Structure 1
Amino acid sequence: MPIPHFTIKNHFQKRHELYEEILTKEILKDICKKITGQNKFTVTFDNIGYNIGRLATLEFNGNIAYVSISEFEIKSRNSFFQSFPSALVKFHEETNSNKAIFFYFLKPNGKINTAYFIFMYRLMKTAGTIFLNEHDHLGISINPFNSVSDIIVQRDFNRGKNKGNASSYVTIDENGILQIFGKTYGANKYETTLLCLAIYAISSQPMELYEIQEKELIKLPKDARNVILSLGIKVITSNLILEREEFENNDSLRSPTYIYNLLEKLGDKKCCLCSCEIPQIIQGAHIWPVASIKRNSALNNDLKLKHAINGDNGLWLCNNHHKLFDINLLYISKDGKISYKTDIEQSHEDFVINFIANKQLPKEILTPEFISYLEKRNSLLESTDYTLII
């Protein structure tokens, strides 16, 4: 029987140490035994170029195993997961159909079982990754996600515990298309890549990835982007030029950046007035309407666009409540209380009152910027025309 053979790029991109100094014979023997059942192996440490993905490949009996090795220095939650998505991309590029991808934990110098870490491990398993020694270092078995809804719920739960830490979001539009909104800068691009590949593994729904521009980077790395495109996932790049064109041409403003900013501020799609959570019928509703922003001669076009895509200038509303709000049948006061227009038919009044479960917006929505946008909207309305819902 042929002896399994490791191939490992020896150099780090930014560190002076070598992989052969970290991946000892004992570690490689353990990996080989867990994958092939054999103790004997050969290894080549390749000194040309540098290692992408903290990756070792193991070839045996016509099979190839991609093994991503964990960090052992826990500098930050993002840095721990930066390498694996690159390994996963290389795995997808592999033409040998007899392939599998693995993850091997080195002994860490910090905590690696936080809620965020567990979420990322579950994404890795959902993408098809086999963990070789999770029990040794986590003490638990990691289960993959079994549905996109499961990912969305857990993502929003983690966001609630660590607001401001999320960089990617998943939702569903009115046509049933899975939409992933991901930033493209720094560690964010790796999370976006992993999220796409994990969701692809468990869903047959059409998918769209919206690349949200951050700093100077507007696209994912070329290799990751090509793999995502090869899977039939539509990739849409959002940048200020495209956003400006959309803003100038449409008062409804179907802006990826605006949706991303609402997801970042408000979390997953959920109507603020009736708590409906069916994402296909939840929309981003502007507080200060786009048409009004456009008519404001005191602002230049850049400032107009900034206001139009600001997450504080919006709410999640279901189709019905969005329409009622747009035609000013509903009124929100600066303390977040909801009123309805008085001069409507009694049957319509009963419907509106009974259809609003949340009669006041949560305090966390009522930021100074939100109230400022609300005042701009309400300056064109007469509060005396409305009756408070109690």
Structure 2
Amino acid sequence: MKLTLETYSCNYETYNKWYFEDIADRIYKKHNSKNIGYDTKVIKLDGKNIQSQRSPSGIWSRSIFVYLDDKLTYIIALSNTNYDEDKLVECNKIGKKSTYGVHNYHANTYLVQGINKNFEIYHKYKQEHSNITLLFYMTDIEQSYPHNKFNLMCYRKLATIGFEILNIDKIDFYEFKEIKKGAILNKNNLHYTSLNEFINDSLVISRNNKGNIPSYMNTFDDYNSNGEKQTKYIYIFKALGAQTYDSFLTMWTIYELAKKENKNVEFLFSKEQYNFNDRKNIKTTKNLAGSIISLFKTLGIDIKYETSDEIRQELNRQKDQFNRAKKNNELRNQELFKNNMRARGIQTKCCLCGCEIENILEEAHIWGIAELKKADTKTIRSVISNKAMQDLIDITSEHKDDDFYKKYMIANSGDNGIWLCSNHHGLFDSHYFCFDSENGKIIINTQKLQENSSLMEFFNKITTNRQLPNEVMSEKTKIFLSKNQINIE
């Protein structure tokens, strides 16, 4: 088997340091052949400046074209790198000091920066070479960025949409254990198995970035063309700068998972300066670039967008829901409650056993609806007057002094909820246990559980966590937990 690796002149020295040899060896192994050597073909680029970080117009230089017996078989998409031997050669020729070896490339540019170009060049060549395969290859693997959690998640996204990373065996997924507890990740099981699993991992990444507003998933009741009720999922997130490229990969992953699970998913971008997390006028998001929208069309992916007008319609919809709730004296708005919980950026899995199965995962009220309805005006005003509750009530609302409005806002506050599986939710609502309001530790109603020894045994068996996660314990949540203590004797 004759093997030829073709690259652009701006990258020949950089990739020649050992990448060519490693790629050749891996290609031979894919075809169950022994490495008997390879030829290199260099495409000369015009221009005085030779730098791998800037591709000349009309090409994408961070690619290697692999020919087997003179037939184009693979396109290798290479990650971003600051270890540029070609730039060093160029600087030496003109007597300029080189910055070769700088370690400061960002995590969100290592793989996803320009990933849309990788797919563009792949589909460009695929028109003439229908059997070619796109592979990814990570450079500078000995450095830290290829192994951080952001990039580990990118590798899982690629696996989910069906693309292989040629040297994924060089990555140690041990650092991913806090996201995927109890599971062993390796090159054979990288793909996400559910939309919920993927969203949860996304929240871990975004929540750990202090300068980032967490992305989150909203759900709404919708109806199909046959008038049948179905759930619509809307993923809300930002697309600024390099995030645009990660958004491309994220949306593609969500699309594939939703299609697999037969879920109706849309994506929300507002051209306005709008923060979807706390509804203040802060610039946090904008629409995707036209090149990415065009690429989605090339890929045959049907991406639906919500517009700014539809955002306003949704806000009006919430007002209509409140008016109906007041008329019917019904505090519970499960759709609003669930979406307010999601907007907090808390992982959607049971706080006590880690269950992520959507069909048995439920949103549980801490201060229960029945107890809240019984609460007198003095109690409600005492809670609302707390400093932590200042943003709970919309002071511009015509209902701001109405006790029903205050109870409605408390009932459907995301801080008044925790995710529990149906087993734990049933036991919680039946007052078999509650949580300490300071640290979230489980307080067991020993008297009730001891009346049924088999139930006590079952509870102990399914309860792997005995304390609410720190991320749940906001100041509002602590106040709501204190109102639940009356259920434990």
Please, what TM-score do these two structures have when normalized by structure 2? 0.51
Shift of 1:164: 1.6
Distance 1:50 1:241 in 2: 41
* Structure 1 counterpart of 2:315: 244
Q: 2:342·2:348 contact (CA, 8 Å) conserved in 1?
A: no
User: Is 1:316–2:419 an aligned residue pair?
Assistant: yes
Q: CA deviation at 1:190?
A: 3.2
After superposition, the C-alpha distances for 1:177-197 in whole angstroms (9 at most, x for unaligned) are: 998665433444433432444
Larger mean Cα displacement after TM superposition, 29-38 or 362-371 = 29-38
- Shift of the 237–327 alpha-carbon distance from structure 1 to 2, 3 Å rule, reads farther
1:261 to 337, 343, 348: 343
Q: Secondary structure at the match of 1:316?
A: strand
Counterpart CA distance in 2 for 1:101 and 1:226 is 19
Aligned to 1:71: 80
Q: Separation in 1 of the partners of 2:476 and 2:339?
A: 18
CA–CA distance in structure 2, aligned partners of residues 369 and 63 of structure 1: 60
Q: For residues 138-179 of structure 1, what are the alpha-carbon distances to aligned partners after superposition, in whole Å with 9 as ceiling and x for unaligned? A: 599961536533896698679779952496679999979998
8 A Cα contact 2:337 2:413, kept in partner? no
Separation in 2 of the partners of 1:234 and 1:226?
11
Q: Helix, strand or coil for the counterpart of 1:300?
A: coil
Instruction: Give the equivalent residue in structure 2 for 1:334.
Output: 437
Partner of 1:217: 285
Q: Which among 130, 154, 167 is matched to residue 120 of structure 1? A: 154
Counterpart contact for 2:137–2:167, Cα < 8 Å: yes
1:194 to 249, 253, 258: 249
Which has the larger displacement, 28-37 or 108-117?
28-37
Change (3 A) 1:134 1:330: closer
| 2:115 partner amino acid | P
Map of 1:81 onto structure 2: 111
Q: Mark the runs of 5 or more structure 2 residues left unpaired by the alignment.
A: 29-36, 48-54, 83-102, 174-184, 222-229, 276-282, 322-332, 374-379, 385-391, 401-405
More deviation, 59-68/155-164: 155-164
- Structure 1: how far apart are the matches of 2:165 and 2:395? 55
Structure 1 residues 38-79: Cα deviation after superposition (integer angstroms, max 9, x where no partner): 514241537796588764363856647443222233433223
| 1:331 to partner: Cα distance | 7.0
Cα gap change, 1:297 to 1:4, in 2 (>3 Å): closer
Counterparts in 2 of 1:219 and 1:283: CA distance versus 1, 3 Å: farther
Identical pairs, percent:
17
Where do 1:89-104 residues align within 5 Å? 89-90=119-120, 93-94=123-124, 96=127, 97-104=130-137
The structure 2 residue matched to 1:368, chosen from 475, 479, 483, is 475
Whether the aligned pair in 2 keeps the contact of 1:261 and 1:309 (CA below 8 Å) is: no
| 1:342-376 Cα deviation digits (max 9, x unpaired) | 9xxx99x979x86866697526232213224556x
User: How far apart are 1:113 and its partner, in Å?
Assistant: 4.9
Q: Secondary structure at the match of 2:334?
A: coil
Between the aligned partners of 2:12 and 2:4, the Cα distance in structure 1 is 21
Could you tell me which amino acid in structure 1 is paired with residue 419 of structure 2?
W
Q: What is the aligned partner in structure 1 of residue 41 from structure 2?
A: 41
Distance 1:65 1:232 in 2: 23
Q: 1:300 aligns with which of 396, 399, 420?
A: 396
Taking the aligned partners of 1:387 and 1:256, their CA distance within structure 2 comes to: 26
Structure with the greater alpha carbon radius of gyration: 2
Partner of residue 14, structure 1: none
Offset of residue 111 of structure 1:
1.8
Residues 21, 38 of structure 1: alpha-carbon distance in 2 compared, 3 angstrom cutoff: closer
Alpha-carbon displacement from aligned partner over 1:83-125 (angstroms, at most 9, x marks no partner): 2532354267545233322333444683245352444334334
CA–CA distance in structure 2, aligned partners of residues 307 and 58 of structure 1: 59
Residue type at the aligned position of 1:282: L
Unaligned segments of structure 1, at least 5 residues = 11-18
Aligned to 2:262: 206
Q: Is the 8 A contact 1:31 1:104 kept in 2?
A: no
Return the alpha-carbon distance in structure 1 between the equivalents of residues 303 and 423 of structure 2: 29
Check conservation: 1:123, 1:194, Cα contact below 8 A.
yes
For the Cα contact (< 8 Å) 2:147–2:171, is it kept in 1?
no
**Aligned position for 1:13:** none
Correspondences of 1:133-172 after superposition (within 5 Å): 143-145=187-189, 147-149=191-193, 164-165=208-209
Offset of residue 315 of structure 1: 1.4
Counterpart-to-counterpart distance in 2, 1:3 and 1:323: 63
Equivalent AA in structure 1 for residue 78 of structure 2: I
Structure 2 counterpart of 1:244, one-letter code: L
Q: Take 1:164 and 1:280, find their aligned partners in 2: how far apart are those partners?
A: 28
Structure in which a larger fraction of residues adopt strand: 1
TM-score normalised by structure 1 residue count: 0.61
Aligned equivalents of 1:186 and 1:256: distance in 2? 31
Match of 1:191, SS state, is helix
- The answer to whether the Cα contact below 8 Å between 1:282 and 1:319 also exists between their aligned partners in 2 is yes
Q: Against the structure 1 CA distance between its residues 98 and 161, is the aligned structure 2 distance closer, same or farther, given a 3 Å change threshold?
A: closer
Counterpart CA distance in 2 for 1:93 and 1:254 is 42
Letter aligned with residue 488 of structure 2: T
1:149 is paired with a residue whose SS is coil
1:282 Cα deviation from its structure 2 partner: 1.8
